[in-house]
Amino acid sequence: MNLMEYKAQELFGRFGLPANRGVLVQSVEELAKTMNSLTYPLVLKAQVETGGRGKAGGVRIVKNKDKLLEEADAILNLNINGFDVKKLYVVEALNFQREMYVSIIFDRAEKVPLLIFCGNGGVDINEIAEEHPEDIIRYHLMPGMGIRGYMTDYILDKSGMSRNLKESLQDILEKLYALFLEKNALLVEVNPLVLTDKGELVLLDGKITVDDNALFRHEDLLAYRDEMEDNPLILDARANRFLYIPIEDAGTIGVISNGSGMIMSSIDLISRKNLTVKCALDLGGGATAERIKEAVRIVLSNPDVKLLFINIFGGITRCDEIARGVKLAYAEADYTIPLVLRLEGTNKEAGLEIIESLPVSFQLSDDLVDGVEKIVEISAVGEQL
């Protein structure tokens, strides 16, 4: 998961780093309320999960109140690389003499973190790497080693900066590394780190990527992830420990299955028949009737789903549990959406008996390929697909 600048700056602050923090607003009205308490000039910064904001007009300096709301409105109406700007970070502008780049990235090839520094930052690091590869300093950080004083000395010398900055740069690198380790980050990037006119080092823009597999350890980041998500069905599924995946906007089929392999094969086979999947829900491990019921409820609450395909191999999850769950869901909400149910495995007979009295049109199948054939049959009959 990528953290937007304002969240990265908040984390930097929490780790004692000198970040240029600002206020986050979501509308011009909200900004209007705080505009008298701000210190000008200001920098207005679009918050989007993509790079290149500056070039797209998403970073603007405003000298005084006159043009503030107009500029803010313009940014909040931008779409940058396909992302609508919904949040604006408003920070006090700083005067600086120099921009630098610093990051710690997890180097998968070497299996250790890599510290990268460049004395000429601000611009895209890929551009620097192409044009001035010799300007980029790299240190692999071996476990237990930490940021060594000689690294900081070399960075300052090579960048032509005064060793008077050693203490503050050392402190910044150590804290960035602590954040990287503690938050299970794959990337912590500051671009630019600036040397202000007052001779202080300040983090002006940041990006943090956290390992999704470690998110469960970080309640604050899980909360942030939910804040960022505006699809209520994804949130609903998450709260139930399911994974809801929107597939195609124009899709009409909902798929419920167990495990990503099964989901992908279902989608592939359905797509090959020129039918389109709207969404898929991964149940995760074994599921009880109650959980199956919730899964069906979530998928069918998408109004575009006109057919439901449930493809679960009844192993640890028994077929009678699956059937009971499906029946419970349909009974609770009077759904009329037709169903194709693959029911195979433990307690299949008991499952068939339960599902027999389902009040909507349904088809049963023994395996995935046959299940997809049944979907095709129903689709040929029902005009709605």
Catalytically active residues, by annotation = 101, 189
Tell me which of 5, 99, 189, 205 binds Mn ion, using CB under 5 A.
Answer: 205
Among ligand GDP, Mn ion, none, what binds residue 43 when CB lies within 5 to 8 Å by partner kind?
ligand GDP
Give the torsion sign (CA, 279, 283, 288, 290): negative
What are the strands, taking DSSP E only, across 51-159?
59-62, 79-80, 83-84, 87-92, 96-107, 112-118, 136-140
User: Please, what is the Cα angle at 114 between 108 and 115, to 5 degrees?
Assistant: 160
Report the run of H or E that residue 313 belongs to, with start and end: strand 307-314
Among Mn ion, ligand GDP, none, what binds residue 93 when CB lies within 5 to 8 Å by partner kind?
ligand GDP
Q: Considering the complex, what minimum distance in angstroms separates the CB of residue 43 from ligand GDP? A: 4
Give the torsion sign (CA, 355, 360, 361, 363): negative
Among ligand GDP, Mn ion, none, what binds residue 99 when CB lies within 5 to 8 Å by partner kind?
ligand GDP
User: According to the binding rule CB under 6 A, does residue 205 interact with ligand GDP?
Assistant: yes
Among ligand GDP, Mn ion, none, what binds residue 94 when CB lies within 5 to 8 Å by partner kind?
ligand GDP
User: Residue 336, Cβ neighbours under 10 Å: how many?
Assistant: 11
Tell me which of 47, 103, 191, 311 binds Mn ion, using CB under 5 A.
Answer: 191
User: According to the binding rule CB under 6 A, does residue 99 interact with ligand GDP?
Assistant: yes
Q: State which residue, 45 or 297, has the beta carbon closest to ligand GDP.
A: 45
Q: Which residue has the tokens 């993509």?
A: 50
User: According to the binding rule CB under 6 A, does residue 54 interact with ligand GDP?
Assistant: yes
Tell me which of 43, 44, 102, 190 binds ligand GDP, using CB under 6 A.
Answer: 43
- Which stretch in 170-178, 186-194, 217-225, 228-236 sits in contact with Mn ion by CB under 5 A? 186-194
User: According to the binding rule CB under 6 A, does residue 59 interact with ligand GDP?
Assistant: yes
Q: Are 330 and 299 in contact (CB under 8 A)?
A: no
Among ligand GDP, Mn ion, none, what binds residue 59 when CB lies within 5 to 8 Å by partner kind?
ligand GDP
Name the nearest CA neighbour of 118 among 160, 146, 149: 160
Q: State which residue, 205 or 294, has the beta carbon closest to ligand GDP.
A: 205
User: According to the binding rule CB under 6 A, does residue 53 interact with ligand GDP?
Assistant: yes
Q: Considering the complex, what minimum distance in angstroms separates the CB of residue 73 from ligand GDP? A: 19
> Which spans in 164-241 are helix H?
166-182, 219-228, 232-239
Q: What is the DSSP letter of 217?
A: G
Asked if the bond preceding 41 is cis, omega within 30° of 0, the reply is: yes
Q: Considering the complex, what minimum distance in angstroms separates the CB of residue 217 from ligand GDP? A: 28
Q: How many helices (H) and strands (E) does the chain have?
A: 13, 19
> Which spans in 83-165 are helix H?
125-131, 149-158
User: According to the binding rule CB under 5 A, does residue 103 interact with Mn ion?
Assistant: no
Q: d(Cα 34, Cα 217) in Å, to the nearest integer? A: 35
Query: In this chain, which residue has its C-beta nearest to ligand GDP?
Result: 54
User: According to the binding rule CB under 6 A, does residue 19 interact with ligand GDP?
Assistant: no
Q: Whole-angstrom distance between the N-terminal and C-terminal Cα of the chain?
A: 35
User: According to the binding rule CB under 6 A, does residue 345 interact with ligand GDP?
Assistant: no
Q: Which residues are at the interface with ligand GDP (CB under 6 A)?
A: 43, 45, 53-54, 59, 93-94, 99, 122, 191-192, 204-205
Give me the residues that bind Mn ion (CB under 5 A), please.
Answer: 191, 205
